[in-house]
Amino acid sequence: MSDPLLSARELLNHGDVTGAERVLAVSVIDDDAHAARATRALVAICMRSGEVGFRAHQAFDALAARGAAGPAAQDLLFEVAELYRHLRIDDAALDLYNSILQACPTHLGARQARDELTGKKGGGALPELPDLDGFGAPPAAVVTEPLPRPQSLADVEVVPLAPAPVVEEPRLAVPAPSAAAQKKSPSGSGGSSGSGAGADVMRAFPPGHRIAGRYQVVERVGRGGSATVLKVIDHELDETCALKVFHLTGAEADLQRFKREVSLSRKIVHENVVKLYDLGSEDGHYFLTMELLEGEDLGSLIKRAMPAPARALTLLMEACAGLQAAHTRGVVHRDIKPANLFVQREGPLKVMDFGIAKPADATTLTSTGVFLGTPQFVSPEQVRGKEVSAATDLYSLGVVMYLLFTGTLPFTDKEIYALLMKHANDAPAPPTSRNPTIPPLLEGLIVACLEKDPRRRPESADEVRETLQQVLARLG
């Protein structure tokens, strides 16, 4: 078995702190022969950086779940608790102190620290931690400098959180939806653009018209640059559904994109992904039918009022479940944004509009060399024309998370090119700099999703969902 400390030290020598944390966290989570030393190394790294990253939180949570049976486990938990206490993460520190005292009521250090925290007697001095063979003791500035105390996510004031300042979402490929056009559309193709094509569709398929002799048009429920969505009655099955008519120009690329959405979306059968039923054409118009959803997309919801933290966490977990279903089948969405996450009045959130999705092993660029996506939510690899993967969707989901919990986007600019360059090169402001009530575990997750290097992001949508579940559980 390789020594994770040696691997972590090598990564640190190359400046890869996230990689070092990942190697050490795996050792702690797996509880292998090096887990104790890996825990202390993680504590040292967190002390030096002044924060507990996403991977370290995962490892410390796994350590806490194993309990404090025995002096060795108690010593490790005490060191982690002291780290949390120093960084003013009092709730996490108290949980660990109580866990130690439950197993060993005579543990004086844990009792004294717990009493000081519960009695509001001050933070106390952190005992000196060992220099772990090359990791280095934490700098004095980090040890002594007081840090702001993170508050509970339950303290988030929902009303003052303003919606993102850039809500019109200028697009490169697919027009952004407006709030009004998306109230009942399950396709993510509503919006103000594309009015000419939408009018042509309504002239061809007015209310009462039967498309393909089967689908009777009731009304239009969504319109955008790429498609018009109609509410129709399927007389063969005697049920109501949505019919999405694509605004194809006749170009081969448009037709292939239509076929790709049908092909890829039909591969994904999951309660958090919109269901497709049928496809066909009439009078030169290509269409597909899908389940009719009642509600609005997340973008429209945000424009009205930012969802409460617990609600936001639940919606994000449902989005992760839908993405995991797509990724498991080798499909990368490539345009995750609030407008493509549909919040039903009753029922789970649905991921929709796989119109620019591709298989994970497909080529990156379109025939013209232009990436498809939405600038506010696009990943660095899409900007650079690099290979897309499941991590691409996690970056965009990270932008959505940033928006939901700070009320702002991580990057904004009036010029699209400048905005793209920020996604490609700039580090976002820490989420807590815009909302100090965000807990460290959630902030670590958001920052991890927004890593420029896809390899440094969470391993999967399932991993993101599990962390969100932990945040929700702590929120209570």
Residue 203 structural domain? 180-290
Instruction: Find tokens 């009792």 and name the residue.
Output: 111
361-417 pLDDT tens trace: 443 333 333 345 689 999 999 998 888 999 999 999 999 999 999 999 999 988 888
Looking at 290, 325, 357, the residue that finishes a domain is 290
Looking at 242, 263, 290, the residue that finishes a domain is 290
C-alpha separations of 185 from 181, 345, 435 in Å: 7, 13, 32
Average pLDDT per block of 10 residues along the chain, 476 residues long: 81 82 88 89 84 81 87 90 85 87 87 80 35 34 32 32 34 29 38 51 87 92 77 91 78 60 73 86 84 90 90 96 92 91 94 63 36 80 90 97 94 90 94 93 96 94 96 87
Catalytic residues: 335
403-461 pLDDT tens trace: 999 999 999 988 888 999 999 999 999 999 999 999 999 999 999 999 999 999 999 99
Please report which helix (H) or strand (E) contains residue 246, including its range: strand 239-246
Could you give the 3-state DSSP secondary structure of residue 46? Answer: helix
* CATH number for position 187: 3.30.200.20
Residues 6+ apart with CB under 8 A from 433: none
Q: Do 324 and 284 belong together in one domain?
A: no
Q: Do 286 and 301 belong together in one domain?
A: no
Looking at 290, 322, 337, the residue that finishes a domain is 290
217 assigned to some structural domain: yes
Q: Do 31 and 125 belong together in one domain?
A: yes
CA 72/CA 266 separation, integer angstroms:
53
Q: What is the pLDDT of residue 207?
A: 92
35 assigned to some structural domain: yes
Report how many domains make up the chain. 3
Phi/psi at 350 (nearest 5 deg)? Answer: -120, 130
In sign, the C-alpha dihedral spanning 437, 442, 445, 449 is negative
Q: How far is CA 149 from the centre of its chain?
A: 25
Q: Do 349 and 432 belong together in one domain?
A: yes
Q: Do 15 and 140 belong together in one domain?
A: yes
pTM score > 0.95 for this model?
Answer: no
Q: What is the pLDDT of residue 198?
A: 60
Q: Do 307 and 283 belong together in one domain?
A: no
Q: Do 194 and 97 belong together in one domain?
A: no
Q: Do 322 and 198 belong together in one domain?
A: no
